[in-house]
Structure 1
Amino acid sequence: MEPITIAMALAAVLGTKALEKTGEKVGEAVWDRSAKLMKYLKQESPGAIAAIEQASEQPLDYGQAVLEMQEAAANPDVARTIQELAAAVEENPHPKLTEVVEEIREALKSLESKDEKNAYITAKEIKAETGGMVIGKSEKKIDTGEGSIVADTIGNIDNRKIDRRTTI
């Protein structure tokens, strides 16, 4: 399992107090590492902590939470703690955690498919001011007049500085 997904699942389960309601307990190693991660997250990503703490009243936005967790993981101590937590969870599997990990994976897959549907944008005309940059994938050769071709290779990413007002 992916360490960040495991960490988010554990945070969601602990944040909603789902284990307390059923009287179940997670292993001591998992508990210690999750407390350590929460301490780091309070410093690195207070917004994530607030969302986790409110998860019992308001569903956690897994996409946003994972992004915040990834940003916090730029700190080597946070990244190491996430790895340790994931290893501890895999050594001490818990049915509720497994269930939430799958729920997070499904939510993230859903977000990815929405992103893929919205990712392709076609522009019929791009206006660029002097000194601007145009970056994109060309589908045809584009001639700006005066013999200057902006996109001369079809299908390749093109990055050109504009030296005069141009419509592409």
Structure 2
Amino acid sequence: MTSIMREHPQYKFALADPDIFAVDSTPIHPIFGVSLELATALLIAAMVIEVIPVGAMCLAHSFWLLSGGTLFSPNTRRLQMKLMYGLLVQMAVPLVTIAIPWGFFAVVIILDWAVSPATLNFWFWLDAAHATISSITMALYTDPYRKYIWHLVWYRRSVLVLKA
């Protein structure tokens, strides 16, 4: 266990845990030396590297089609641009709340960084808040949801007064 602590001093806290022990510290063949966490981190990094450029190209192409000389009426073009803006915001939510935190986790694992628990807690909180943030943005940027919520919150029933 002491040889492991010499190689990886950031895990010094493990010495205080009596349930942790090392069976064998001899190295294995380099082909089999890839841990599952490193393989997962590399997969996450590859997915982040793939998704961001493809999403940017699709977004740029959609805006190019809407701004070009297509046969849209001005009202249709305005509605399509409004829809594209809403979709852009709703696509940014998973990027910010899922892809960026998991990309950070992949970098931490690949580079073997020692990160403070507060930093990890923030990124895990951001990842866990994905559903809430996504629902809020969908309610704010989609007209039927926004109108229904506005009507539900601010609707006041009129009081009918009958005189005898």
Same fold (TM over 0.5): no
Question: Counting helix residues as a fraction of each chain, which structure ranks higher?
Answer: 2
Give the structure with higher Rg (CA).
Answer: 2
Question: Counting strand residues as a fraction of each chain, which structure ranks higher?
Answer: 1
